Amino acid sequence: MEEKLGFKPLPAAIALGLALLIWFVIPVPEGVTPQAWHLLAMFVGVIAAIIGKAMPIGAISIIAIMLVAITGVTSDKPADAMKDALSSFSSPLIWLIGVAIMISRGILKTGLGARIGYLFISVFGKKTLGIGYSLALSELLLAPVTPSNTARGGGIIHPVMKAIASSYDSDPEKGTQGRMGKYLALVNYHSNPITSAMFITATAPNPLVVDIVAKTTNTNIHLSWSTWALAMLLPGLAAIALMPLVLYFFYPPEIKQTPNAAEFAKQKLAEQGPMSRGEKIMLAIFAILLILWAGVPAMLFGKAYAVDATTTAFIGLSLLLLSGVLTWDDILKEKSAWDTITWFAALVMMATFLNKLGLITWFSAMLSNSIEHLGIGWMGASALLLLAYMYAHYMFASTTAHITAMFGAFYAAGLALGAPPMLFALLMAAASSIMMTLTHYATGTSPVIFGSGYTTLAEWWKAGFIMSVVNLAVFVIVGAVWWKMLGYY
């Protein structure tokens, strides 16, 4: 009978129980409207269902939309309540990520992603450390147009990494993962959170951060694609430069010289043959996207030639369809894109109305008042909030759920305690990706790479904690200096 149900009974029951507890048992606090409290009850239930994987996140989101509409927490008029429940489907940020995921299918379909990986290894692959940097640089190059960090790290880079490790007989099934596979697998994974922090379009939840920051600051701070990319450029590059060295120190590979790896990569490139028509078009469109997202036309010719980031994504997808590199059937089969659009719209809608109904303001005021009594100043308070926010990810298996549940309140609390809005926004944005380092369930990429068996659980968690400290230190120190130079605070 259980197999016929569309949900897992235990996590569904827990999620429902939490929602009912808040709705009916816990009194509405002073300063909070009943509508806001009831929406919070549904929100907590939805987040609990996502964490517990009671249903696929898209299915949970459909139910969330239905609940907001039918309960009328946003409006007494049923038609208006339904409009509110569907309101975020018109968000340009949501469509930016959805369309960018569709575009990234072209990188997989044409084989351009694998070619980039093997090209780097053919140049830098004479040492295991060089292979590590090749994997990291391949990640970095693909990140701006691959919003699915799982597809990037697990679907494109990981097969390349496994092929190189196997060529040196470094295989978990043979107990030889220590030769180089363990090190390369960790580099493969830990490139992922860093590159995810560097571009709005590098991981799906980043636009959620942009949206929350804009709403919390009444649109005084709007992180555009180019602003985010420029801000994260220097600390991101510093983190990328350090990461393979840090992991090399803690998990040194047995094989350090790999002259055959470059030859292996060249063989793979020879097997691929010359760049296909599809790869050339994909590369050209890749360049067009970067030029438009970076705002180059506006810089050269004035603001009248600026192109919106979401419009740019639609230009890229249209060109891929017109050229035949992607077909409409390819787009229809890109389930992750349609899934992302659905759950993003639901979660953004709930977070938006929690803010509109005053719940986030109330909660952040409580949080800031509690910290203010510690008398540690805005710097100490911001550090405490940042650390609590990031390391809370040990309790989350979804970065989206984590950001939706905590980012708004913690960011608003930091502002209330005197943190510079832009500085704290960028630190929180970086932490939202850095937290992916922590566990083997932290994001979709982690179970793919951990599941390959190159590391033990203890090794994975140790590496995750070490890299979280290193990455956070880099973004705090290098980032703060860089952002001051840019005049961001």
Q: What is the pLDDT of residue 374?
A: 82
Evaluate if residue 1 carries a pLDDT over 50: no
pLDDT range class, residue 236, cuts 50, 70, 90 = very high
Evaluate if residue 172 carries a pLDDT over 50: yes
- Identity of the highest mean pLDDT range in 44-58, 122-136, 145-159, 471-485: 471-485
DSSP 56: -
- Tell me the domain boundaries of the chain: 1-85, 93-205+224-333
Evaluate if residue 294 carries a pLDDT over 80: no
pLDDT, tens digit (0-9, with 9 covering 90-100), for 450-475: 888 899 888 999 999 999 999 999 99
Tokens of 188: 């493969």
Q: 3-state secondary structure string, the chain?
A: CHHHCCCCHHHHHHHHHHHHHHHHHCCCCCCCCHHHHHHHHHHHHHHHHHHCCCCCHHHHHHHHHHHHHHHCCCCCCHHHHHHHHCHHHHCHHHHHHHHHHHHHHHHHHHCHHHHHHHHHHHHHCCEHHHHHHHHHHHHHHHHHHCCCHHHHHHHHHHHHHHHHHHHCCCCHHHCCHHHCHHHHHHHHHHHHHHHHHHCHHHCCCHHHHHHHHHHHCCCCCCCCHHHHHHHHHHHHHHHHHHHHHHHHHHCCCCCCECHHHHHHHHHHHHHHCCCCHHHHHHHHHHHHHHHHHCCHHHHHHCHHHCCCHHHHHHHHHHHHHHHCCCCHHHHHHCHHHHHHHHHHHHHHHHHHHHHHCCHHHHHHHHHHHHHHCCCCHHHHHHHHHHHHHHHHHHHCCCHHHHHHHHHHHHHHHHHHCCCCHHHHHHHHHHHHHHHHHCCCCCCCHHHHHHCCCCCCHHHHHHHHHHHHHHHHHHHHHHHHHHHHHCCCC
Evaluate if residue 361 carries a pLDDT over 60: yes
DSSP 27: P
Q: What is the pLDDT of residue 352?
A: 81
Tokens of 117: 């990986």
pLDDT, tens digit (0-9, with 9 covering 90-100), for 237-269: 999 999 999 999 999 999 898 888 888 888 889
Evaluate if residue 485 carries a pLDDT over 80: yes
pTM (2 decimals)?
0.78
Q: Which of 12-16, 44-48, 103-107 has the lowest mean pLDDT?
A: 103-107
Q: What is the pLDDT of residue 429?
A: 97
Q: Which of 20-29, 65-74, 132-141, 167-176 has the lowest mean pLDDT?
A: 167-176
Tokens of 227: 């602003």
pLDDT, tens digit (0-9, with 9 covering 90-100), for 96-118: 878 888 888 888 889 887 888 88
Angle, vertex CA 468, rays to CA 434 and CA 399, nearest 5: 35
Tokens of 395: 């309790």
pLDDT range class, residue 309, cuts 50, 70, 90 = confident
Q: Please say whether the beta carbons of 346 and 88 come within 8 A.
A: yes
Percent of the chain surpassing pLDDT 70:
99
- Identity of the highest mean pLDDT range in 120-129, 133-142, 235-244, 310-319: 235-244
